[in-house]
C-alpha cells in the first residue's frame, strides 16, 4: 500500500500521474468543493477520476461539499456543444460504480434535494465523508 498522505488541493496534468503511476491499485476518495462551470475543479476532479479508473485504480466515491453539491443538479441545461457536468457524474456513477454523494447540510443551504438530483446521485451526511476518508488509501481534494 502506498504511503498515505497529503497530495494537493490543486491539480494539474502531472498531478494525476503523481498518484496513479505507482504500480499498485489505489483506493481513492474524491472531495469536490466547487460548483460546475464557474470553476475548473469539477472538470479536473472528473478527469482525474476517469484517468485513475483507466489505470485500474478504484474510485470509491466523489463527495460533494460547499458549492460542489450543485454538481448533481439535474436541472442544469448547458448549450449542446458544451459538456453536461451533471450527466457526466451520473454516467460515472452508473458505469463505474462510483458513489456520487452530496452533503446534506451543504445541499439544504443551496436548494439541492432529491427532486432535482441526478440519477446515481445521493444526498448523505458528513459521517459518510468520514468513512470515505477512513476506508480509502487517499482522499484527494479539488477546490480553492
Partner 1 sequence: MAEEQTNIKKIMHVMRHAPHGTIYTYEGLEMILIMAAYEQDISIAFIGDGVYALKKGQDTAGIDIKGFAKTFMALDGYDVEKLYVDAASLAERGLTEDDLVVDVEVLSSGEIGRLMGEQDVVLPH
Footprint of partner 1 (CB under 8 A): 4-6, 9, 31, 33, 65-66, 105-106, 125-127, 129-130, 133-134, 139, 141, 143-144
Q: Nearest-5° angle of CA 62, CA 66, CA 118?
A: 50
Residues noted as catalytic? 103
Taking the CB of residue 38, how many other CB atoms lie within 10 A of it?
10
Nearest approach, Cβ of residue 116 and partner 1 (Å): 21
The three three-digit cell numbers of residue 113, written as one number: 434535494
Helices 13-20 and 41-54 cross at an angle (nearest 10°) of 40
Kindly compute the dihedral angle of the four CA atoms of residues 68, 102, 138, 33, in this order, to the nearest 10 degrees.
10
Based on CB atoms, which residue is closest to partner 1, 25 or 120? 25
Based on CB atoms, which residue is closest to partner 1, 57 or 88? 57
Nearest approach, Cβ of residue 133 and partner 1 (Å): 5
Nearest approach, Cβ of residue 143 and partner 1 (Å): 8
Amino acid at each position: 500500500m502506498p504511503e498515505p498522505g497529503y497530495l494537493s488541493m490543486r491539480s494539474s496534468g502531472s498531478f494525476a500521474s503523481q498518484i496513479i503511476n505507482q504500480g499498485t491499485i489505489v483506493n481513492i476518495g474524491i472531495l469536490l468543493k466547487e460548483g460546475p462551470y464557474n470553476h475548473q475543479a469539477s472538470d479536473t476532479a472528473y478527469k482525474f477520476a476517469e484517468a485513475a479508473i483507466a489505470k485500474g485504480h478504484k474510485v470509491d466515491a466523489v463527495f460533494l461539499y460547499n458549492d460542489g453539491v450543485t454538481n448533481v443538479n439535474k436541472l442544469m441545461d448547458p448549450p449542446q456543444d458544451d459538456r453536461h457536468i451533471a450527466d457526466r457524474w451520473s454516467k460515472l456513477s452508473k458505469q463505474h460504480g462510483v458513489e456520487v454523494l452530496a452533503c446534506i447540510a451543504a445541499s439544504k443551504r443551496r436548494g439541492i434535494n432529491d427532486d432535482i438530483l441526478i440519477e446515481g446521485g445521493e444526498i448523505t451526511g458528513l459521517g459518510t465523508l468520514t468513512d470515505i476518508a477512513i476506508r480509502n488509501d487517499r482522499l484527494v481534494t479539488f477546490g480553492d
